[in-house]
């Protein structure tokens, strides 16, 4: 297979994945520092799946994040302060002129949250300690992506002693 044929095949697979929802398994147990709960998220052009993303307050999760879209996307999960920090960082890293190289986006240490930037077809993992009490937001702050609707719904729940959702 030629390089062009391979690129076309990859593009067709990624395009086909756009229509399939990511499975949203039931939560049987909250993640712990010793045994994080595995959570898969697919970023598409311009949405996150699953939607809503359900997390347990106070748990540790291991995200496996796949960019199933045709464009680069970022996964930014955190409170309003985290979102504002990455929004500003991405805006500052946007090249001022076409065909210029942008500086890498970064925020001060201790900002919190989690951010993963992926090119089309890429995958990465990240550990995250879910806060017990703050509101979480999920967004892609690359230029134009929030405006195109790339904002995920995050539901923070608690589990009772039997493992059933309590809120």
> What CATH number does residue 58 fall under?
2.60.40.420
pLDDT tens for each residue of 102-150: 667 776 677 789 999 999 999 999 999 999 877 899 999 988 999 999 9
- Domain count for the chain: 1
28 in a structural domain? no
List CB contacts of 97: < 8 A, sequence separation 6 or more: none
68 in a structural domain? yes
32 has a pLDDT exceeding 70 = yes
Q: Say how far apart CA 68 and CA 97 lie, in whole Å.
A: 28
pLDDT tens for each residue of 61-99: 999 999 999 999 999 999 998 888 888 887 776 766 666
164 in a structural domain? no
8 in a structural domain? yes
> What pLDDT is stored for residue 118 in this prediction?
95
165 in a structural domain? no
**Preceding omega of 50 cis (within 30 degrees of 0):** yes
> What pLDDT is stored for residue 98 in this prediction?
67
> What pLDDT is stored for residue 24 in this prediction?
47
Q: Which domain holds residue 19?
A: 3-23+34-157
Residue predicted with more confidence, 45 or 163? 45
162 in a structural domain? no
Q: Say how far apart CA 84 and CA 16 lie, in whole Å.
A: 33
Which residues in 34-122 belong to E strands, given as ranges?
A: 37-44, 47-49, 53-56, 60-67, 73-78, 114-118
17 in a structural domain? yes
Q: Say how far apart CA 57 and CA 8 lie, in whole Å.
A: 42
């Amino acid at each position: 297979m030629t390089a062009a044929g391979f690129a076309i095949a990859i593009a067709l697979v990624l395009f086909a994945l756009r229509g399939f929802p990511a499975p949203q398994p039931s939560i049987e147990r909250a993640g712990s520092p010793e045994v994080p709960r595995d959570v898969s998220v697919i970023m598409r052009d311009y949405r996150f799946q699953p939607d809503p993303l359900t997390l347990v307050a106070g748990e540790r999760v291991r995200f496996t994040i796949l960019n199933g879209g045709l464009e680069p996307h970022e996964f930014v999960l955190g409170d309003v302060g985290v979102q504002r920090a990455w929004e500003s960082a991405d805006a500052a890293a946007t090249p001022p002129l076409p065909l210029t190289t942008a500086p890498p986006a970064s925020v001060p240490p201790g900002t919190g949250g989690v951010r993963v930037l992926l090119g089309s077809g890429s995958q990465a993992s990240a550990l995250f300690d879910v806060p017990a009490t703050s509101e979480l937001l999920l967004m892609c702050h690359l230029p134009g992506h929030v405006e195109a609707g790339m904002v995920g719904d995050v539901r923070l729940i608690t589990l009772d002693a039997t493992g059933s959702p309590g809120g």
